[in-house]
A and B are shown apart, each in its own frame.
Chain A
Amino acid sequence: MSAVITVKSLSKAYRYAKRRGGFFEAFSPEHVTVEAVAGIDFEIGVGERVAIIGPNGAGKSTTLKMLSGILEPSSGEASVLGLTPWKQRKALAYKIGVVFGQRSQLWGELPARESFALLRHIYDQEAAPFARRLGELTERFALADLLDQPVHRMSLGQRMRCEITASLLHGPNLLFLDEPTIGLDVTAKAAIRDFIREHARDHGQTVLLTSHDTRDIELVCDRVIVVNQGRIVVDQPTDQLRRRFLGRKIITFQSAGQGVSLNLPGVTRRASEAHATILEVDTKLTRVEQVIAAALADGGIEDVTIEDPPMEEVIAEIYASTHAA
C-alpha cells in the first residue's frame, strides 16, 4: 500500500525579534528562535483516519500547514500524494480539502450558493459532477434553506456544515481538518463526526485531523499521533490508546451537605472542595448513568457536571507512561 503522506525529519523553527523598550534597543532587537516542530517522522496510508493531538503550541497546526503547502519547513522532507507540498502548492491544492475550525474559508459577505459557484470554477469542476456532489451534500447537511444566506450571518454550526461541504465539492482524496468541531454544541459535533467517518469510508478518503476533543479521536479516527513540544510522543492505533487513556469522564457533584461517597468499580475520588465532590469514572467499568443514579439515591445533590478529562491531562499521562515504559 503506497503512502499518501510521508514525512521525514520535518522541522520548523520560527525566528522573531523580541521587542525591548527604549529607542536605541529598537534598532538591535534580540532574536529568539522557537522550534515549533523538531524533526518528526510518520507515514499515512490510503484510507487511514489519523488524529494529531497535543497541547497548545505542540506543533499540530504548524505540521498541517507544512503538509498543505502554505508553510515552508526549516529542514526535512515531506511527500503528499506524490507531491512536495511547499514546492507544488497549486497542484496539490486540486487534490486536498481543508477545513479550519477557527477560520472561515468562505467569502463572508456572499451567500453560500455564490461561494460554492466560485469554488466550482476555482477547482475547474465540470457542471454535472459538481451539481451532483453539491446536491448530495446539501441533502446530507440540510443546507437547502441556507444556500441564499450570507455566510457571516450564519450560526457557527450552520457555517461549519457549509465549510465542510465547500471542502468536499471538488472530490478530494485527502482531507485536512484543523479543529473541525471547536465551539459546536453536542448534537452538531456528533453530526459532523458521523459524517466525516462515513464519507471517508464510502469514498476511500484519507483524513488527517487535529483536535482538542478526545471524542473526536475516539469516534472518527483509527490512529492517533500525539505531539508535544514539536516532537511525536506516541503513534498508535486508537484501540490501544483507548484502553489506557480514553473512555474516562470527570463528574462533579455539588451538594448542600457532606460530599458523595460511592463504592463502584472504576470510580476514583479526586481532590474535592467543600461542597463539590469530583469523581473520575472509567466508563468501561461503570457507566455514567449508574454513577449518577447512585449519587442521586444518596440524596442532597444540587448540581451535576459531566466533563471529559482535559486534553493536557491525557497527553501528560500518555507522555509519562510511554517514558516509564
Chain B
Amino acid sequence: MRRDLIAAAVALRIGAGQAMAGWTVLAGRCLFYILIMTVLSALWDKVADERVAGAIALPAGGLVLYVLATEWITLSLPSVHLRFEDDIRSGGLEPHLLRPKFYLLQSLAQSLGGTLVRLAALGVTAVAWLLVTGRQGPPAATYPYLFVLGVLAVTVGMLLYAVAGLCAFWTRRILPVMLVIQKLMFLLGGLFAPITLYPDWLRKIAEATPFAAHLYWAGVQALHPSGAMFLQAAAWQALWIVLLSLLCLALWRAGLAKVLREGGV
C-alpha cells in the first residue's frame, strides 16, 4: 500500500512537471480565463446595476467572485476521459497491465499533478485580474480555505470525467457520455450562477448530485466566506470523492474482466 502511494506520488510529480514544461498552453488557458471573466463580469455587473422589477435579487456584491471561482475550477480540469478512451480502445492498456501497479491510480495521479499546476497558474491569474480591474476580492485569510475546496472540487470533476472515460470499455465513442456529463456539470453544478438562484425543483435536484459538489461549494465560499460553510462544503466534496471513486473502481473492474477475457474491447 505504502509503495503504491509512493509510485502515485512520483506520477503526480511527473504530471506537474509536464504541465509546467508546456507553459505556452498554460498561458493560452490563462488568456482564455481573462477573456471569459471579462465577458461574464460585464454580464453580472449589468444585471446587478439594473434591478428590473420582478427579477431575482442577486447576492450583495454581485456574482463576479462566484463565477471567478467556478471558471477557475472548470478550466483546471484534465482531459482524463480522452486519455482513458485512447488507452482502452487502442489496446494501450496492455503495457500497464503488465506492470505491478494499479493503472487507474497511476494515471489519475499523473493527471492530478498537471491539474494542480493549472489550478495554481489560473489562481494567480484570478488574483491579478482582480487587482487590475480594481475589484474587491475575497479576504486574503480565506485563500487557503478556497485552495482546499478548489483541490477537492477538481478531484470531483476529474472523477466525473474518469467515469465518462471508463465507458470506453463498452461504447465506441465516449463523446455522447462526455457531453452529457459536462453539461450536467455546468447546469447542475452552477457554472454561471449559484444553484440557489434556480427554481426550487431544479435546486433540489442539483443539490443531490455530485455536480454541485464539483462547482457550487467553492463558488459560494468565494462569494460569502464562512468557516461553517467550509466544513459543510469539504464534507460534501469528500463524500462524493469517495462515492465516485467506488464507481470508477467498479467500472474499472468490470471493464478489466472483459479485457482479460476477450483480449481487448
Contact = CB atoms under 8 A, between A and B. Distances in A.
Direct contact between A and B judged by beta carbons closer than 8 A: yes
Interface of A: 12, 14, 62, 65, 68-72, 86, 89-91, 93-94, 96, 98, 100, 103-105, 109-110, 114, 117-119, 121-124
Given A70-B260, A72-B260, A114-B17, A93 B91 contact: no
A93 B99 contact: yes
Contacts of A70: 94, 97-98, 259-260
B261 A68 contact: no
A71 B98 contact: no
A117 B14 contact: yes
Contact of B18 (A14, A65, A105, A109): A109
A96 B98 contact: yes
A118 B260 contact: no
Contact of B7 (A14, A72, A100, A122): A122
Interface residues of B, number: 23
B10 A118 contact: yes
B100 A93 contact: yes
Contacts, number: 65
B6 interface: yes
A63 to B, nearest CB: 12
Contact of B94 (A100, A114, A118): A100
Given A86-B260, A94-B100, A122-B100, A103 B10 contact: no
B95 interface: yes
Contact of B99 (A72, A114, A123): A123
A98 B100 CA distance: 13
B3 interface: yes
Contacts of A121: 3, 6-7, 10
A119 B14 CA distance: 12
Given A100-B95, A118-B11, A91 B260 contact: no
Given A14-B262, A71-B260, A71-B263, A89 B97 contact: yes
Interface in B10-47: 10-11, 14, 17-18
B92 interface: yes
Contacts of A65: 94, 263
Contacts of A90: 100
B101 interface: yes
A70 B262 CA distance: 10
A143 B14 CA distance: 21
B137 to A, nearest CB: 36
A93 B260 contact: no
Interface string B164-198: 00000000000000000000000000000000000
19 contacts: A12-B263, A65-B263, A70-B97, A86-B260, A89-B97, A90-B100, A91-B100, A93-B99, A94-B100, A98-B95, A103-B94, A105-B98, A119-B99, A121-B3, A121-B6, A121-B7, A121-B10, A122-B100, A123-B99
A91 B17 CA distance: 30
Interface centre among B97, B99, B259, B261 (most CB of A within 10 A): B99
Contacts of A12: 263
A110 B18 contact: yes
A121 B10 CA distance: 7
Nearest to B15: A110
Interface in B66-114: 91-92, 94-95, 97-101, 106
Contacts of B95: 98, 100, 103-105
A96 B98 CA distance: 9
Nearest to A114: B14
A120 to B, nearest CB: 8
Given A14-B262, A86-B260, A68 B98 contact: yes
Nearest to A12: B263
A96 B262 CA distance: 22
Contacts of B3: 121, 124
A181 to B, nearest CB: 19
A31 B95 CA distance: 30
A122 B110 CA distance: 13
B98 A98 contact: yes
B98 A103 contact: no
B124 to A, nearest CB: 25
Given A93-B100, A98-B98, A110-B18, 5 more contacts: A65-B263, A70-B98, A70-B260, A71-B263, A93-B99
A70 B98 CA distance: 7
Interface string B231-265: 00000000000000000000000000001111100
A52 to B, nearest CB: 17
A103 B264 CA distance: 14
A69 B98 contact: yes
A236 to B, nearest CB: 29
Interface centre among B91, B94, B95, B98 (most CB of A within 10 A): B98
Nearest to B262: A14
B98 A122 contact: no
Nearest to B14: A114
Contacts of A109: 18
